[in-house]
Amino acid sequence: MGRGGRRHRGGRSQRNQLEDSNENVRKPLKSEASFDSNIHNRTWSNADFEEYYKEQRIVKPEEWDTFMEVLRKPLPAAFRVNSNGQFCDEIRSILENDFIKSLQAEAIESGELEAIKPLPWYPNNLAWHSNFSRKEIRKNQTLERFHEFLKLETEVGNMTRQEAVSMVPPLFLDVHPDHFVLDMCAAPGSKTFQLLELIHESAEPGSLPNGMVVANDVDYKRSNLLIHQTKRTCTTNLMVTNNEGQHFPNCNSKRTLSIASEIHHHPIDQLLFDRVLCDVPCSGDGTLRKAPDIWRRWNSGSGNGLHSLQVVLAMRGLSLLKVGGRMVYSTCSMNPIEDEAVVAEVLRRCGCSVELVDVSDKFPELIRRPGLKKWKVHDSSGWYRSYKDVPKSQRDGILKTMFPSGKSDKDSTCGENSNEEMASGESAEEVCDLPLERCLRILPHDQNTGGFFIAVLHKVSPLPVSEGAEDIVVEESASDNGLKPPEKEGIIKLAQELGGMGGKTKVPALQGKWKGLDPVVFLRDETVINGIKTFYGIKDESFPLHGHLVTRNSDTSSKGNVKRIYYVSKSVKDVLELNSAVGKKIKIASVGLKMFEKQSARECEANSCSFRITSEGLPVILPYMTKQILYATMVDFKNLLLYKSIKFPDFALAEFGQKAAEVAMGYCVVVLVDGTQELGSEAVEVNSSTIAIGCWKGKASLTVMVTTVDCHQLHQRLSDRERL
Ligand SMILES: C[S@@+](CC[C@H](N)C(=O)[O-])C[C@H]1O[C@@H](n2cnc3c(N)ncnc32)[C@H](O)[C@@H]1O
């Protein structure tokens, strides 16, 4: 059984928010309805924008008109087939063999060559581009079947709508299943979803990868979207946190990773990550085609205002990265102040310890441009070629790190070609001497997408002490905030250094309390754990529950206040165990996979276990269950999906009705047998194609515990299979 299939349930409104939320721009979420009604009143131009990017020469003059023309066109829809989804192959085949052909006529009518096509640079035909915008797909009658297909498969978690360019950063991160990955600014979670897919790649049903993903975002509401979105991956290897990325706390690790820790004789290892995705908040003008309201509010100040936050986020990412690890820095802005200037500053600060990786041979079908080496800085007073031209009055908003040389008038040395004064007294244009051409800029007219910027960084050695937060060990102590004085000083010093760049960086705020979030606690109630094990026939040696179950409620007393129990992988368990003290600083919004949910007392009459298995938990635990399993033929299975509740004598196969009547009251699993399996066999032969649903065995009937939309989708999929 895959992890992505048929377990998505969730309110319509939250789903809409997910789809509508501009994944890249910091702005309030808004409804699609208002987007549609306002779209015609919008101005699809901005003189300042045009002046700015002409001056920055992000495209050649002869390309300018095409660049602007494409920017004013609605963004074509793009979507991904979830690679861990149970029906991944079937869905890809429907796209390749059915929709490519059936939508062709419509494409020709609209003057396009093809209606949908796989993105050539995305592996295994799993990401698709449509030449129709999302609005066209919704409104066009001929596209109705395709729209319904997209809607249903997205709703049940088999597909994800995601901007094509937003799919790029995880690809360059090169994630393996045993990697510890930090997604620093993760919400609403499209890229986290991809990272989880990579972590789970090629895992057998029920086997959990060694790696994990920590998905962090400062915004609590947006984190909830992420939690909702990633639920469909059915992963036990995820921790969602709510910290400021630039102050992401140091955590303890069992691994002995850091050479630095030996050199500095640190008493404990610090948790460092194999991969870091630093997809920072940005001005977002690469998303103009999707969010045309940006035309109206665009100005050069937005990028300038975000530059220092972007630098400190990237620096913290690098300090949390293991030596030998890789970090991808990305924005959906085309602005060099948020892009190349940030990368250049990070490289300057890190010296030889960090390299900008040349990825020009990777994903060659992805059309990209090299990063800029020259750019200027602009504010409401005009253009500056060099920091020394910036009047004192403007130096609060314009920082030296925004310029290609990163130097102020004091530290600029004479004779460097980049800083020679022109005869007129005006500074010469600066040229950055770092290999910024290794960065990638994707422009909308390159391949009919949004705009995006990516830099791939490799950590060669520990960061210089002045920059590396990994050199600051944080341990709990009796002091009020848990920091020993010298270490506290270290953090303050770091913050001051970072703040010294002109940004408004504040000293890390230590969270003594959980600020509205219940603490994560390990479930130690033997009665509950043994009850679950006995009822479902789970053996600790095959699927350990002890130490892997957590709750969000500290009261696990017999009064039974625990309502939901989450299962965490070994990787997440280790991090949680070692950081229960640090946990006061990490705000954990969600951890692991919701595996068991409490039934109401009435539902549990005569039932020895008051916890049912959740839809998202079932694929993970099913291979290890030896009790409460029923095997149904296709007819009875489909009838269950269709009628939702069936009395025991009414099943097509009397033997199945009989078995259903005999199983213990409460939650049970109905597995579809493929004709070769014995109806009465004890253990489930689970493989990636096993189809199973959770049901409730009552006094006289069996009732499915799956949402209507999931039942509908599964019924349709099985009917399609029978037809073929
Ligand atoms: C470009 S969006 C991230 C998109 C996300 N990676 C995805 O693929 O869905 C930037 C995110 O950064 C978050 N953010 C802003 N400031 C932050 C900070 N200081 N630390 C962590 N996250 C921050 C915003 O809430 C926003 O969700």
Does a cis peptide bond (omega within 30 degrees of 0) precede residue 619?
A: no
Using CA atoms of 603, 607, 613, 619 in order, give the dihedral in degrees to the nearest 10. Answer: -130
Name the residue at shortest CA distance from atom 6 of ligand 1. 186
Q: Does 557 have pLDDT greater than 90?
A: no
CA 310 to centroid of ligand 1, rounded, Å: 11
- Smallest CA-to-CA distance from 25 within 159, 169, 166 is with 166
**ipTM value:** 1.00
Query: Which residues are catalytically annotated?
Result: 332
Which of 163, 195, 198, 218 gets mutated to test ligand 1 (max ligand atoms within 8 A of its CB)?
A: 218
Terminal Cα distance for the chain, rounded: 21
Strands (E), 599-705: 611-613, 629-632, 645-647, 666-672, 692-697, 701-704
Largest alpha-carbon pair distance within the chain? 98
**Are 83 and 122 a contacting pair, CB within 8 Å?**
no
| Tens-place pLDDT, residues 63-73 | 999 999 999 99
| Whether the CB of 398 sits within 6 Å of ligand 1 | no
| Tens-place pLDDT, residues 442-500 | 999 999 999 999 999 999 999 998 765 443 333 322 222 232 333 333 333 333 333 33
pLDDT at site 269: 82
- For the segment 654-666, the average pLDDT, to the nearest whole number, is 94
Name the residue at shortest CA distance from atom 2 of ligand 1. 24
**Which numbered atom of ligand 1 lies nearest the CA of 244?**
20
| Whether the CB of 187 sits within 6 Å of ligand 1 | yes
CA 458 to centroid of ligand 1, rounded, Å: 22
**Which numbered atom of ligand 1 lies nearest the CA of 166?**
8
- Smallest CA-to-CA distance from 243 within 234, 251, 235 is with 251
pLDDT at site 595: 97
Strands (E), 649-717: 666-672, 692-697, 701-704
**Which numbered atom of ligand 1 lies nearest the CA of 284?**
1
**Do the annotations mark residue 187 as ligand-binding?**
yes
Residue-averaged pLDDT of the chain: 82
- For the segment 640-646, the average pLDDT, to the nearest whole number, is 97
**Do the annotations mark residue 261 as ligand-binding?**
no
Alpha carbons 341 and 406: distance in angstroms, whole number: 8
Highest mean pLDDT among 103-107, 686-690, 696-700: 696-700
The number of helices, as runs of H, and strands, as runs of E, in the chain is 24, 28
pLDDT at site 674: 73
pLDDT at site 562: 86
| Whether the CB of 348 sits within 6 Å of ligand 1 | no
- For the segment 552-562, the average pLDDT, to the nearest whole number, is 63
pLDDT at site 345: 98
The confidence band for 14, taking pLDDT boundaries of 50, 70 and 90, is very low
- Residue found under tokens 């007392």: 601
Q: Is 341 helix (H, G, I), strand (E, B) or coil?
A: helix
Position with higher pLDDT, 505 vs 277: 277
Q: Is 416 exposed, middle or buried, given 0-12, 13-18 or 19+ CB atoms closer than 10 A? A: middle
Q: Is 545 left (phi over 0), alpha (psi -120 to 50) or beta?
A: alpha
The confidence band for 395, taking pLDDT boundaries of 50, 70 and 90, is very high
Q: Does 260 have pLDDT greater than 60?
A: no
Position with higher pLDDT, 204 vs 199: 199
* Residue 675, C-beta contacts closer than 8 angstroms, at least 6 positions apart: none
| Tens-place pLDDT, residues 182-193 | 999 999 999 999
DSSP alpha helices (H): ranges in 320-457?
Answer: 340-350, 444-447
**Do the annotations mark residue 89 as ligand-binding?**
no
Alpha carbons 434 and 348: distance in angstroms, whole number: 9
pLDDT at site 471: 39
- For the segment 52-77, the average pLDDT, to the nearest whole number, is 96
CA 216 to centroid of ligand 1, rounded, Å: 8
| Whether the CB of 587 sits within 6 Å of ligand 1 | no
| Whether the CB of 338 sits within 6 Å of ligand 1 | no
Written as one letter, the residue type at 653 is L
Q: Does 10 have pLDDT greater than 60?
A: no
Alpha carbons 111 and 105: distance in angstroms, whole number: 10
CA 218 to centroid of ligand 1, rounded, Å: 7
| Tens-place pLDDT, residues 512-545 | 344 567 788 899 899 899 999 999 999 888 899 9
Which of 20, 22, 25, 26 gets mutated to test ligand 1 (max ligand atoms within 8 A of its CB)?
A: 26
- Smallest CA-to-CA distance from 446 within 129, 719, 67 is with 67
pLDDT at site 503: 34
pLDDT at site 86: 85
pLDDT at site 675: 62
pLDDT at site 108: 64
Using CA atoms of 595, 600, 605, 610 in order, give the dihedral in degrees to the nearest 10. Answer: 20
CA 324 to centroid of ligand 1, rounded, Å: 25
Alpha carbons 591 and 551: distance in angstroms, whole number: 9
Q: Does 346 have pLDDT greater than 70?
A: yes
